[in-house]
Amino acid sequence: MAHSISQVLDRPIITEKSTMMASKDKKFTFAIPNWATKDHVKEAFAKYFPDHKVLKVNIGKIFGKARRTRKGYTSPVDQKKAIVTVDGAHIEYFPEI
């Protein structure tokens, strides 16, 4: 099954911690699919933000938390995130807003 580069950067993860890392250290956090690797993330980031140079890519797993429901427990869904360190100016996540 072939995956395209346009599917790699799903959405930015915007939390208090990621916002502080973006403004202070120029580290931007994105949700990525489970099949994506560091090379996929680097290539996709270079495609969407060509004027920024990628210095480093860190990848981590976000483990799903089992929830208790009326009928038992729900099975958790694991996710993956990428923290991209860039060289250059700040990135606008949502340019249309």
Please indicate, yes or no, if residue 3 is contained in any of the structural domains: no
Please indicate, yes or no, if residue 97 is contained in any of the structural domains: no
Please indicate, yes or no, if residue 57 is contained in any of the structural domains: yes
Please indicate, yes or no, if residue 2 is contained in any of the structural domains: no
How many domains, the chain?
1
Please indicate, yes or no, if residue 61 is contained in any of the structural domains: yes
CATH number for the domain including 52? Answer: 3.30.70.330
pLDDT in tens, 10-68: 889 999 999 899 888 899 999 999 999 999 999 999 998 888 899 999 999 999 899 99
The whole-number pLDDT of residue 90 equals 77
Query: What's the mean pLDDT in 86-97?
Result: 69
For residue 67, the enclosing domain spans 11-87
For residue 12, with 0-12 CB atoms within 10 Å meaning exposed, 13-18 middle and 19 or more buried, which class applies? middle
Tokens of residue 27, six digits: 């580290």
Is the pTM for the entire model greater than 0.85? Answer: no
